[in-house]
Copies of this chain bind each other. A is one copy, B any other.
Amino acid sequence: MPERIYNFSPGPSVLPYSVLQQAARDIVNFNNKGIGLIELSHRSKEFMGVAQEAEALIRENLKVPSNYKVLFLQGGASSQFFMVPMNLLQNGMKATYLNTGTWSDKAIKEARLFGEIDVPFSSKEEKFNRVPKDDEYTVGPDSEYLYFVSNNTIYGTQFQSFPTADALLVSDMSSDIFSRSVDVSRFGIIFAGAQKNMGPAGVTVVIIREDLLDRAPENLPTMLRYKTHADKDSMFNTPPCFSIYCVGLVMKWLKELGGVEAIEKINNEKAALVYEAIDSTDFYRGHAEIASRSKMNISFNLPTPELEAKFIADAGAQGLDGLKGHRSIGGCRASIYNAFPREGVDRLVAFMQEFARANG
Q: Say whether B13 contacts A241, CB under 8 Å.
A: no
Given A7-B35, A39-B7, A41-B322, answer yes or no on A238-B12 (Cβ-Cβ < 8 Å).
yes
Which A residues between 108 and 154 are near B, CB-CB below 8 angstroms? Answer: 109-110, 113
Q: Is A42 an interface residue (CB 8 A)?
A: yes
Q: Write the nearest CB–CB distance from A5 to chain B, whole angstroms.
A: 4
Residue in B closest to A83 when the chains form the complex, CB atoms: B221
Q: Say whether A224 contacts B11, CB under 8 Å.
A: no
Given A33-B5, A221-B82, A221-B110, answer yes or no on A240-B240 (Cβ-Cβ < 8 Å).
yes
Q: How far is the CA of A110 from the CA of B224 in the complex (A)?
A: 11
Q: Is A329 an interface residue (CB 8 A)?
A: no
Contact with B along A246-270 (1 / 0, CB 8 A): 1000000000000000000000000
Contact with B along A15-45 (1 / 0, CB 8 A): 1010011011101110011111011111010
Q: Say whether A29 contacts B2, CB under 8 Å.
A: yes
Q: Say whether A200 contacts B241, CB under 8 Å.
A: yes
Q: Say whether B38 contacts A12, CB under 8 Å.
A: yes
Which A residues between 77 and 110 are near B, CB-CB below 8 angstroms? Answer: 77-79, 81-82, 86, 106, 109-110
Q: Collect the chain B residues with CB atoms within 8 Å of residue A35's CB.
A: 4-5, 7, 321
Q: Say whether B36 contacts A202, CB under 8 Å.
A: no
Q: Is A212 an interface residue (CB 8 A)?
A: no
Q: Is A188 an interface residue (CB 8 A)?
A: no
Residue in B closest to A242 when the chains form the complex, CB atoms: B200
Q: Collect the chain B residues with CB atoms within 8 Å of residue A199's CB.
A: 38
Q: Is A303 an interface residue (CB 8 A)?
A: no
Q: Say whether A238 contacts B82, CB under 8 Å.
A: no
Given A33-B5, A110-B222, A242-B200, answer yes or no on A78-B14 (Cβ-Cβ < 8 Å).
no
Given A224-B82, A238-B11, answer yes or no on A243-B34 (Cβ-Cβ < 8 Å).
no
CB < 8 Å neighbour of A243 from B7, B32, B202, B321: B202
Residue in B closest to A21 when the chains form the complex, CB atoms: B28
Count of identical protomers in the assembly:
2
Q: How far is the CA of A236 from the CA of B39 in the complex (A)?
A: 28
Number of chain A interface residues as a range: 35 or more
Q: Is A10 an interface residue (CB 8 A)?
A: yes
Which A residues between 285 and 333 are near B, CB-CB below 8 angstroms? Answer: 319, 321-322
Residue in B closest to A47 when the chains form the complex, CB atoms: B12
Q: How far is the CA of A273 from the CA of B20 in the complex (A)?
A: 40
Q: Say whether A78 contacts B223, CB under 8 Å.
A: yes
Q: Say whether A221 contacts B86, CB under 8 Å.
A: yes
CB < 8 Å neighbour of A78 from B33, B109, B236, B319: B236
Which A residues between 209 and 245 are near B, CB-CB below 8 angstroms? Answer: 219, 221-224, 236-243
Q: How far is the CA of A38 from the CA of B242 in the complex (A)?
A: 11
Q: Is A195 an interface residue (CB 8 A)?
A: yes
Q: Write the nearest CB–CB distance from A89 to chain B, whole angstroms.
A: 13
Q: Say whether B39 contacts A12, CB under 8 Å.
A: yes
Which 10 residue pairs across A and B have the least CB separation, nearest first?
A82-B221, A202-B240, A38-B200, A74-B74, A78-B237, A24-B24, A5-B34, A9-B41, A76-B237, A74-B75
- Ordered by A's residue number, 6 sampled pairs between the chains whose C-beta atoms are within 8 Å are A2-B32, A9-B39, A13-B41, A78-B236, A193-B238, A201-B240
Other A-B contacts than A38-B201, A106-B222, A110-B222, 12 sampled, CB-CB below 8 A, are A5-B33, A5-B34, A7-B39, A34-B319, A74-B74, A76-B223, A76-B237, A78-B236, A81-B222, A201-B241, A202-B242, A242-B243
